[in-house]
Amino acid sequence: MKSWIETPSGSDFPLENIPFGIIEYQGRRGVATRIGDTVVRLSVLAHHGFLGFLTGDQLQVFEAPELNPFIGLGKAVTREVRLRLQELFREGNSALQSRADVCRQAFIPVREAVMRMPVHIGDYTDFYSSIEHATNVGKMFRDPANALLPNWRHLPVGYHGRASSIVLSGTPIHRPKGQTRPADEGPVVFGPTKQLDFELEMAFITNGSTPLGSSIPVEKAEDYIFGLVIFNDLSARDIQKWEYVPLGPFLSKSFGSIISPWVITLEALEPFRIDGPTQTPEPLPYLRQSEPANFDIQLEVALQASGCRPQSICKSNFGFLYWSMAQQLAHQTVAGCNIQVGDLYASGTISGSEPDSYGSMLELCWKGTRPLKLPDGSERTFLLDGDSVIIKAYAEKQGLRIGFGECETTILPALP
């Protein structure tokens, strides 16, 4: 597909993508999409009748300060909007291109558009769905011969996290403080974490609501998934080690998690659907899938020390996940948990089988025993103040690239 809107070669945002996000421009927020390096204000197109198949009330969703009202219209509507935008932007269609007055209002260079949080996140669940990551952590902290806990291959392990501390790419995060016990038999101390880590994750956003007590069948789960973002779940490993028994992470993961600004729809990712790993034993009936439900999305993490250029430290793939998004959502709701529009469900750290595909500093440096060497000659076992973590994600094959842009944050010193 070719667009009359200029699209640089290798762009994350060709005409086949049509992501959705929230921008602020001249003091007003609204729904936008992106083609190449051009951001398009959808409220302008709606006002001038280019989305006329929608009703008056539906057209108002493009002026909302978050995507929730738009994605809450359901897939039948959001798919139609996406197809209509592709038609308007397609090379040879002059309906919009000939309206210079509308284009001047609607089109903004990406450098002039201020990105905002794409959705209001009401609830947030973090899963633990990479078997390689779970095995690595089990080897480091438990019995190497029995790295996985007995339940891991039977259900998508997860916990409910803190939605209020999920922030947009570009937001710096202060080093958290908390209790740690540096030595197993030593005293408990309080202070800034000394083991600050990133976690390479993806997350999906729901587009529907269900009543309390109901559940979503695994074969219907994708009907409730609008799209995906990159997710960096920062973690304080020393705080986590001390606090997680018996109820799991708390302060160690609630001080800041970062998402990318553009939500990439499942429709855009459809060409990259693949089979996931073989699941042994076979899941219980409510988790069984008959069709491919993973997606071949390439992931890369770069670490940038203050004053240095970024250095790639990890390459992984979303397709490595043992438990699919559909299985995660089916399990989340099987006991009767209700979902809402805009809920966010993170994958858990995504690691591969090779050391350079491990999705956290904990694994890459193997609990601090194998330091990373950076271009300036310094070493890292965990993140230092001034370090920036940059995560990229894209799917690519046969000349088609669907990307997510970047998810970036910088570590600031702990506050007093």
For residues 233 and 199, is the Cβ–Cβ distance under 8 A?
yes
> What DSSP assignment string belongs to 122-177?
--EEEE---HHHHHHHHHHHS-GGG-S-TTTTTS--EEE--GGGEEETT--EEPPE
pLDDT reading at 90 higher than 90: yes
pLDDT, position 177: 98
Over residues 383-409, the mean pLDDT reads: 98
Is the separation of the CB atoms in 263 and 21 below 8 Å? Answer: yes
CA–CA separation, 313 and 302 (whole Å): 6
308: three-class secondary structure by DSSP: coil
Q: What's the pTM value of the predicted model, to 2 decimals?
A: 0.98
Q: How does pLDDT run across 199-210, given as a tens digit for each residue?
A: 999 999 999 999
Residue 93, number of CB atoms within 10 A of its CB:
14
Q: What is the pLDDT of residue 376?
A: 87
The amino acid present at 110, given as its one-letter code, is: V
| pLDDT > 90? residue 142 | no
Question: pLDDT tens, 348-360?
Answer: 999 999 999 999 9
Q: How many other C-beta atoms can be found within 10 angstroms of the C-beta atom of residue 44? A: 19
Span 21-25, mean pLDDT? 97
pLDDT value, residue 14: 98
Quick one: average pLDDT of 25-47?
97
**Amino acid 87: pLDDT:** 98
Rounded distance, CA 19 to CA 12, Å? 10
Q: Where are the domains of the chain?
A: 21-116, 124-412
Q: Distance between the two ends of the chain, CA-based, in angstroms?
A: 54
pLDDT value at residue 56: 86
How does pLDDT run across 277-334, given as a tens digit for each residue?
Answer: 999 999 999 999 999 999 999 999 999 999 899 999 999 999 999 999 999 999 999 9
For the chain, what is the mean pLDDT? 97
Indicate left, alpha or beta for 18 from its phi (over 0: left) and psi (-120 to 50: alpha).
Answer: left
The reply to whether 133 belongs to the active site is yes
| Structure tokens belonging to residue 180 | 């740690």
Average pLDDT (64-80) is 98
- DSSP sequence for 224-251: GEEEEEEEEE-EEHHHHHHH-TTT--SG
CATH 3.40.630.30 assigned to domain 21-116? The reply is: no
Decide which of 1.10.3470.10, 3.40.1390.10, 3.90.850.10, 3.30.497.10 is the CATH code for 124-412: 3.90.850.10
Which is higher by pLDDT, 126 or 52?
Answer: 126
Q: How many CB atoms sit inside 10 A of residue 141's CB?
A: 14
- Reply yes or no on whether the pLDDT at 375 is more than 90: no
| Structure confidence at residue 203 (pLDDT) | 99
The token duo for 249 is: 């992470």
Catalytic residue among 133, 154, 160, 174: 133
Give yes or no for residue 225 having a pLDDT over 90. yes
User: What share of the chain in percent tops pLDDT 90?
Assistant: 97
pLDDT > 70: what percent of the chain?
A: 100
